[in-house]
Structure 1
Amino acid sequence: MPRLQRYAVAQTFDVQAPSGLSIEGYDDEQHPLVPLRTPYVFRQGLNAVLAFLRSAHGDGLLLTGPTGAGKTSLIRQIAARLCWPVQEVTCHGRLEFNELLGGFQLIRGETVFMHGPLAIAAREGQLLILNELDLMDPAELAGLNDVIEGAPLVIPANGGEVIAPHPKFRLIATANSAGAGDATGLYQGVLRQNLAFLDRFRVLRVAYPDAMVETRLLEQLVPELPREIREKLVGVAQEVRRLFLGSEDEGSQGGELTVTLSTRALVRWARLAVTFKGAPNPLAYALDQALTARADAEERTAIHRIAADVLGPLWSGTP
């Protein structure tokens, strides 16, 4: 079992914080369930997540926001720096609560009960991340109500086994909606969730990073791309998102575009631009592969026009 140790917040996350501010994590960098540490610029939400990790007080944590805004990566990279093991599950409409508990499997000719991600995380003091929470059947998710609040986890299929949740067990979920369903029609399969279940969560809204943060991120991840181009790519992403999200004054029905240049797609575009730098019009070719090949013709043309306007002569040049 890994042991607990304290980490200074300022040094661990490369942020401005009081010199005495620290948080507990684990000491085993080699644990197989500790996420891979990658370059990351911490921003919005770090304080809220750290407060939750210090003390959940019977809550879960729900991170909600548009696709590719960095909901899951924020948790993974915090966990990576605290050496906190993570069980991660992607939810879907057919996922059942019992699959999170575990089930019987045939091992070397014997039927053996194998604990699932919820049981292991609760027992070992790990993080359980449920991605795409709003795709799961609300009736199945109700099985999490008591364990979120700290009640023992009971596994009837394993002879009524009782697991007392470890003090460091935390349940974190991510979703494109906040549980009230999808008003835009862009996230197919999203279900409206049970109000009593949602009442057990703190909610953290995660927006796309600002231009400065994304420029720093591209500098770390794609340093071979010239700075001027990195800044221009970020500018394109900001404009595409503005048209995707729409104005707050227009409500929650979305904007003029039905696809968006997320942080994930932005990094993909930058990397592909370097990969295809010897091709004709590499930035356009890379943007097609990163995003616009799956947009309809009208939206593809609109996004490429935005890119041409922002990049100017660079659009048809070589990175």
Structure 2
Amino acid sequence: MTTTQRFDVATTFGVKARPGLEVQGFADDTHPQIPVHKPYVFRPELLRDVLAFLHEAGGDGLFLTGPTGSGKTSLVTQVASRLNWPVQGVTCHGRMEIGALLGQFVLTNGSTRFVHGPLSVAARDGHLLILNESDLMDPSELAGLNDIIEGQPLVIAENGGEVIRPHPQFRVFATGNSAGAGDGSGLYQGVLRQNLAFMDRFRVVQVGYPEAELEKQVILGAVPKMPETIVEKMIRVAEEVRRLFLGSDQEAGELTVTMSTRTLVRWAALSLTFKGAPNVFHYALQQALTARAEPEQREAIHRIAADVFGDYWESTP
């Protein structure tokens, strides 16, 4: 994992870039922690921010914030997959402690041995550490990452005071539906206001939902048999649902569920799965999203979809 390789940005990520622009990754593509390569449409401005951080962290982490399903984690993992960069991914929760990231003793064949956790492995071997839903974790626990993010050695007292000096390619990413200030909307249960000193160690990048044309490419890439006309109508439904979910600066949103790109892909895929069934788009949308909405909101979303689809609403794809 020590042999590095230069990758051409334009050809590696399928974006427009100046000729000769390269980014460093790794030559070995066999490491089991390299994310699975999936079809992905990169947004140039977000790709630029991630690549700049990978090139030079400067003692920072990178915090990606945005609404659910906007592609925060997949952005990082799909960049890593193309650069052969192993990833240690952790989904945080309110009961997680820093010790779970460092490692723990396990019983093997009658004796105990210390097994390094994702933070220790990433820092030691130069992997990317992704803290998903980091704003669900107790801020006093996350504060334990402050020194290692800045490049200070990681000391594991539980393992006899083992000292791990961070690898030059070690990077820390965090994702969250908030930007560390808590959730004022009440939509994301369990989100906590984070420690200011911890957040001060991160660059913050806002990840919104893709533009309509880009989102269409994503859906057609995942569900290529879906007619383009239907995909465009699905995206129009999603845009209206998101508008009602996000609300405005002055007013809270009218919906408590939203339609992410992930949900759109699910809706399109299910519509093909149930092709030929009566009211297939209605049925697929219910499974993809609205079955978990309150009855009034479910009815409102289906009414929006029926208005957008028109005569297509009761047809088959």
**Structure 2: distance between partners of 1:269 and 1:73:** 19
1:269-317 C-alpha deviation (Å, 9 max, x unpaired) = 1110110112111111000000000001111111001111111111110
Partner of 1:17: 17
Distance in 2 (alpha carbons) for counterparts of 1:221 and 1:9: 23
1:151-173 Cα shifts (integer Å, max 9, x gaps)? 00000011100000000000000
- TM-score, normalised relative to structure 1: 0.97
Distance 2:308 2:263 in 1: 17
Moved over 4 A (4+): none
Give the structure 2 partner of residue 164 of structure 1: 165
Q: Partner residue of 1:276? A: 274
- Given residue 165 of structure 1, which amino acid in structure 2 is its aligned partner? P
Q: Distance in 1 between matches of 2:8 and 2:128?
A: 20
Q: Distance in 2 between matches of 1:228 and 1:119?
A: 49
RMSD: 0.9
Unaligned runs of 5+ in 1: none
Q: Deviations over 1:33-90 (max 9, x none)?
A: 0111111110141100100000000000000000110000101111111110000000
Deviation at 1:2, TM superposition (A): 4.8
Question: Residue 311 of structure 1: which of 304, 309, 313 is its match?
Answer: 309
Q: Which residue of 2 aligns with 1:177?
A: 178
Matches within 5 A, 1:50-61: 50-61=51-62
Aligned pairs for 1:238-277 (under 5 A) are: 238-247=239-248, 249-250=249-250, 254-277=252-275
Query: What is the identity, as a one-letter code, of the residue corresponding to 2:254?
Result: E
- Write the letter of the residue equivalent to 1:169: F
Is residue 78 of structure 2 the alignment partner of residue 80 of structure 1?
no
**Amino acid corresponding to residue 59 of structure 1 in structure 2:** D
Deviations along 1:64-122, one digit per CA (max 9) or x if unpaired, are 00011000010111111111000000000110001100010012222110000000000
Cα drift, residue 30 of structure 1? 2.1
Residue 254 of structure 1, CA deviation? 3.5
The match for 1:210 is 211
- Give the whole-Å Cα distance in 2 for the aligned partners of 1:126 and 1:232: 41
Report the equivalent of 2:118: 117
Indicate the residue corresponding to 2:151 in structure 1: 150
Question: Aligned letter for 1:295?
Answer: A
Amino acid at match of 1:279: A
TM-superposed CA distance for 1:19, in Å, is 1.0
Residue 301 of structure 1 aligns with an amino acid whose one-letter code is E
Whole-Å separation in 2 of the counterparts to 1:299 and 1:263 = 19
Which one is further off, 20-29 or 126-135?
A: 20-29
Distance 1:75 1:204 in 2: 12
Say whether 1:108 aligns with 2:114: no
Query: SS at the partner of 1:45?
Result: helix
Distance 2:252 2:183 in 1: 10
Give distance in 1, aligned partners of 2:121 and 2:10: 31
2:195 maps to 194
CA shift digits 1:183-218 (9 cap, x unpaired): 100100000011111000000000001100110111
Distance 1:314 1:258 in 2: 27
Q: Could you state the TM-score of these two structures normalised by the residue count of structure 2?
A: 0.98
2:265 alignment partner AA: V
TM-superposed deviation, 1:28: 2.0
Q: Which amino acid aligns with 1:142?
A: A
Deviation at 1:239, TM superposition (A): 1.1
- Name the count of aligned residue pairs: 316
Residue matched to 2:33? 33
Find 2:284's aligned residue among 275, 286, 301: 286
Distance in 2 (CA, whole Å) between partners of 1:254 and 1:316 is 33
Which residue matches 1:233?
234
The equivalent residue for 2:8 is 8
Give, in whole Å, the separation in 2 of the partners of 1:66 and 1:2: 36
Separation in structure 2 between the aligned mates of residue 254 and residue 119 of structure 1, nearest angstrom:
41
Give the partner amino acid of 1:75: V
Alignment partner for residue 302 of structure 1, among 289, 300, 303?
300
Report the secondary structure of 2:73's partner residue: helix
Query: What letter corresponds to residue 223 of structure 1 in structure 2?
Result: P
Cα distance between partner residues in 1 of 2:37 and 2:307: 36
Partners in 1 of 2:25 and 2:171 — Cα distance? 12
Please state if 1:137 is matched with 2:121. no
Instruction: Provide closer, same or farther for how the CA distance between residues 108 and 220 of structure 1 changes in structure 2, counting only shifts above 3 A.
Output: same
In the aligned structure 2, how far is the partner of 1:74 from the partner of 1:177? 17
Distance in 2 between residues matched to 1:62 and 1:136, nearest whole Å: 14
Secondary structure in 2 matching 1:288: helix
AA at the equivalent of 1:8: D
Q: Separation in 2 of the partners of 1:271 and 1:31?
A: 31
